[in-house]
Structure 1
Amino acid sequence: MYNISYVPKAVHYDYVRLNWSKPSCANCEAKGEYCRLKINGTNDETECVDIPKQPGDGSSNKKAIIAGVTVAVVVVFTVLLVLSVVFISKKRKKEQQKKFEKFLEDYKALRSIRFSYADIRKITYQFKEKLGQGGYGTVYKGKISDDTLVAVKVLSNFKGNGEEFINEVGTIGRIHHINVVRLVGFCADGYRRALVYEFLPNDSLQKFISSGKQLIRWEMLEQIAIGIAKGLDYLHQGCNQRILHFDIKPHNILLDQNFSPKVADFGLAKLCSKEQSIVFVTAARGTIGYISPEMFSRNYGNVSYKSDVYSFGMLLLDMIGGRKNFHAGADDSSQIYYPEWVYNQLEKGETFSIQIAEEKNSKIFKKLAIVGLWCIQWYPADRPSMKAVIQMLEGENLPIMPPNPFASSKVGKTDGSFSTWEGDSISEAIEGNC
């Protein structure tokens, strides 16, 4: 017991007395526990209790905190990622729109008409008559105010259509050739896009060569081949800039009322200067079966206007028989490459499975086949230009047979180029034998 008292000289205060007993906590402390008076106990009874854990000391608490922090970080990162994607997407769309508006501003001086979407609906009679459908949109028949029939391609898949639309308008709108389809006008109303072409009543070349019947006379087929070649030669050499089509195939060759061919669909086209011999492309362009080897591997050479020449060669081979209608007459015909079979037949002088009654027609058949084989040489340097192709097609005599592009013994040069001729160039060899 302690006594506390303090009495000054002049003042007297009552003192305060404090009494407590000292509990026996030695056992609790020895066990690392706290000691306290026993609840509801009597006298000075004590009990030992666990030391209370401080917040965050336990492993479970730590795990909970770590999990919470991780979730928070993931949520914040996800939100930032989504916001970044939205921001970049909006920025890209704005840039594309600015680019498109600049293109339209520059395009004002050209001849094509710009239609509103309401005009397009009116021209097509509310999209009444459907002519066809492709990967980028649907084509409808229409009529403009002066009773001129048109074909209207409404672009439905806007994703990726910006470049295609600009390519189409920017290339066809600047040129005019009898063997290139004419662009009457276009629609750029908000995000709605449409292209208005001249209407060609005989549809595409595909319609006639895939039927399995000889629907076009051989003389007409020869003229169609020459017309396509002249159209491509104009694109390669006749314009201020060289235009590479990159998608020559029967579907993209349209026929007018006189069966005059017109090259169409410039969605994959690329412009370059005439002096530029090499074109940079990020991925293969075109349709499988018509794409040149160098599009897949630069080991065959660089991409250039010769890529169109290859596609034209495959087109000619389609015209003379069609791979869909090909029957080699062998048990393993499914394993025989159609162009290689054509080459072997010509080289051996054997009769083709396609029956041609007149000798004149047989000559046309062989001419188209030989020119086609010249065009599909594996290496671009071995293919003729379209000018040389026209000379072969218009020549009176059959062109000489090209080297076999399918021979397994061919080996490319170390610099990646390849030449099948020792001495004279391929153009000289072709032009000197037409």
Structure 2
Amino acid sequence: MRKYTKLEHILIVGVISASLLLVQLVIGLYYVYHQQKKRKENQGKIEKFSQDFRSLEHSRYSFADIKRITNDFKDKLGQGGYGTVFKGRLSIDVLVDVKILNVFKGNGEEFVNEVGSMGRIHHVNIARLVGFCADGHNRALVYEYLPKESLNFIFAAKGKTHVLGWDKLQEITLGIAEGIEYLHQGYEQRILHFDIKPHNILLDQNFNPKISDFGLAKLCSKEQSAVSMTTARRAMGYIALEVLSRNFGNASYKSDVYSFGMLLLEMVGGRKKNIDVTVENMSQVYFPELAYNHLDNGGDRTKN
């Protein structure tokens, strides 16, 4: 077998290396092209939606407007997987919450869902949408200002919701229930929220609850018994199993009722979290597991 000379060996290694680099370059260029095409398609969806949305009584802001309203994003109120919320001011007397959505999160569907859903509904227990921004790749949602943060903030700061008093807890609970009932029955189409949790229950100055964050919402007819689910961002502990997997059944308005039930248990029980199945600290517990173990051990259903 003929041995390669040193020069031939260098040439072979060079050709192989160049070929690998070329393949990587082609893959990289295709990825960039695909991402740019996807962004253009998503922006097209949003622009088309914005044109259709003009008939509704909400303002569309430029990103320059958003920067002015938030004083260059000076007062940050919170941050999550969806983006960041800032305090803003439309005028001397009118404050707002401005949610800046992450540029590379989602495909535009959550933005369209939230603006489309909240732009159609008006209820005392649902956060009011003031306007939105769809300026290039910049997306933002402008809501009424709610100074008391969310139920999640109260859980984290106080540990137990009992500090509000049982009368106020009952008022908050009834308000959330009325908001969900309106979503399911009060509009010409049924609006399924699919993300009821403490973080998405905002409170005004009088601790009146307002359901917010409609990024996962779906609209369907009131006669439709089930809907398909594709989006993955959901809060474990509050979500119904059929929303996570079709193996457990079909997602429907009952999924919101389940989430409300988990939220109610957390409010009444004063638990900090309803997420971890294996947690040992009783201030943090997964309620379905707790109930199952209690009944499996012969516990009284009316206790605990």
TM-score over 0.5 for the pair: yes
Structure 1 residues 189 and 175, CA gap change in structure 2 (3 angstroms)? same
The residue that corresponds to 1:169 in the other structure is: 115
CA contact (8 A) 1:186 1:194 kept: yes
Which is greater in Rg? 1
Post-superposition CA distance 1:99-134 (Å, at most 9, x none):
121111111111111112222222223323222222
The residue that corresponds to 1:138 in the other structure is: 84
CA contact (8 A) 1:130 1:141 kept: yes
State the alpha-carbon separation in 2 of the partners of residues 313 and 261 from structure 1: 16
1:212 to 159, 162, 183: 159
Q: What percent identity do the matched residue pairs reach?
A: 57
The residue that corresponds to 1:303 in the other structure is: 251
2:197 to 249, 265, 271: 249
CA contact (8 A) 1:285 1:291 kept: no
The residue that corresponds to 2:264 in the other structure is: 316
Q: Quick check: 1:228 aligned with 2:181?
A: no
State the alpha-carbon separation in 2 of the partners of residues 297 and 96 from structure 1: 27
Structure 1 residues 138 and 175, CA gap change in structure 2 (3 angstroms)? same
CA contact (8 A) 1:132 1:138 kept: yes
> Which consecutive residues of structure 1, in runs of 5 or more, have no partner in the other structure?
1-56, 327-331, 353-434
**SS of the residue aligned with 2:60?**
strand
Question: Comparing both chains, which one has the higher relative contact order based on Cα–Cα distances under 8 Å and sequence gaps of 6 or more?
Answer: 2
Post-superposition CA distance 1:347-384 (Å, at most 9, x none):
3555x5xxxxxxxxxxxxxxxxxxxxxxxxxxxxxxxx
| One-letter identity of the residue aligned with 2:131 | G
1:144 deviation in Å?
Answer: 1.1
1:82 deviation in Å?
Answer: 2.2
The residue that corresponds to 1:293 in the other structure is: 241
Post-superposition CA distance 1:170-199 (Å, at most 9, x none):
111121111111000112222222211001
The residue that corresponds to 1:191 in the other structure is: 137
State the alpha-carbon separation in 2 of the partners of residues 157 and 136 from structure 1: 10
| One-letter identity of the residue aligned with 1:60 | Y
1:122 to 68, 93, 109: 68
State the alpha-carbon separation in 2 of the partners of residues 313 and 288 from structure 1: 14
* TM-score (normalizing by structure 2): 0.83
Q: Number of residue pairs matched?
A: 290
State the alpha-carbon separation in 2 of the partners of residues 75 and 132 from structure 1: 43
Q: Quick check: 1:273 aligned with 2:226?
A: no
2:4 to 60, 81, 88: 60
2:51 to 99, 105, 120: 105
Post-superposition CA distance 1:193-238 (Å, at most 9, x none):
2211001122212233441342222122122112111211221222
1:312 deviation in Å?
Answer: 0.7
**SS of the residue aligned with 2:272?**
helix
The residue that corresponds to 1:356 in the other structure is: none
**SS of the residue aligned with 2:202?**
strand
Structure 1 residues 284 and 127, CA gap change in structure 2 (3 angstroms)? closer
Structure 1 residues 297 and 196, CA gap change in structure 2 (3 angstroms)? closer
> Which region of structure 1 is more displaced relative to structure 2, 60-69 or 102-111?
60-69
Structure 1 residues 128 and 297, CA gap change in structure 2 (3 angstroms)? closer
Structure 1 residues 146 and 172, CA gap change in structure 2 (3 angstroms)? farther
The residue that corresponds to 2:277 in the other structure is: none
The residue that corresponds to 1:79 in the other structure is: 25
CA contact (8 A) 1:254 1:264 kept: yes
CA contact (8 A) 1:204 1:251 kept: yes
1:65 deviation in Å?
Answer: 6.7
* TM-score (normalizing by structure 1): 0.60
